[in-house]
Amino acid sequence: MKVFLDDAFSTIWATLKTFEFKDLIDIIIVALIFYYLFRLFRQSRSGQLVKGVVILLALFAVSALANLTMVKFMLKSVFEFAVIILVVVFQPELRQGLERLGRSNKTLKNFMNNSGQSTESIIMKAISDVADSCAVFSKSRTGALIVFERNGLLNEVADTGTMLNSDTSPALLGNLFFNKAPLHDGACIIRDGKILSAGCILPLTKNMDVSPDLGTRHRAAIGMSEESDAVVVVVSEETGNISVALGGHLKRDFTRNTLYDELSMLIIPGEQEHSNLFSLIFKSRKEKNDEK
């Protein structure tokens, strides 16, 4: 062990003695490349594919150490064509990333908007507007599906709807979910307190244990919460019940005030860390709901 540590320190010291400024630049560029690749995959649902690649790499390492000839041969054959495979599998994400890189102009957008308001105050206004709107929807039995984006960005889902990039207001939300409006059947996605897109198509849950009394709107809310960390608010068209989906679970029977408190706890930066553990143990109630 001592010999190994001595060799390691000798190697590190020899490297440091030859370290130049250009090496630092090289490290920074590589770090930025990996950082933007991580952000790109985080913004899509390709994260699971990346995990699969990591598992294959780990399996290859194990097969090499254990001298598993057949497994090592098969994985080596796969990795020989890895570049082509990755380009084919991640083609949409790579194209999207290059387009975003070409038109990227983000500076202080995450901290301040054009009017000088903080992002947190914009999100608080959006939560208040959604709570007010859902209270009205509940009384009028207007179906609604509103997705609050959190850490994982929902660009792929947003692309299925109509891009708005608009401030929230009860009037606008009321128009979007008016039962004769063209976008009322889809979901509305809110990012950083702004309505990013409306009329979006959400993935339905594949959980066979979900109550058969739940309709498509609630199944879409649960499905979206299963595939992302988003907070999804759903109002039943049949009963007017207000529910929140998170982590594949549905919590129901919200009022205007309790919905506002719940969304504030789940969405406002700084509050999420304290609420994640509690929120992930949402349990589906078995009350009857004929939502369609």
pLDDT tens-digit map of 177-202: 998 888 888 999 999 899 999 999 99
Q: For the residues of 221-246, what is the DSSP string, one character each?
A: HHHHHHHSS-EEEEE-TTT--EEEEE
The Cα–Cα gap between 10 and 190 comes to: 54
Residue 216: inside a domain: yes
Residue 9: inside a domain: no
Together in a domain, 200 and 79: no
Together in a domain, 130 and 264: yes
Together in a domain, 64 and 154: no
Task: Determine the structural domain holding residue 135 and report its residue range.
Answer: 119-279
CATH number of 271's domain: 3.40.1700.10
Together in a domain, 164 and 139: yes
Q: Which H/E stretch holds residue 51? A: helix 47-66
For residue 147, with 0-12 CB atoms within 10 Å meaning exposed, 13-18 middle and 19 or more buried, which class applies? buried
Residue 2: inside a domain: no
pLDDT digits (tens, 9 = 90+) for 202-242: 999 988 888 888 889 999 999 999 988 899 999 999 999 99
Number of residues in the chain: 292
Residue 159: inside a domain: yes
Together in a domain, 253 and 222: yes
Structural domains of the chain, count: 2
pLDDT at 98 over 70: no
pLDDT digits (tens, 9 = 90+) for 54-84: 777 787 787 778 777 777 777 777 777 766 7
Q: Which residue, 103, 130, 146, sits at the end of a domain?
A: 103
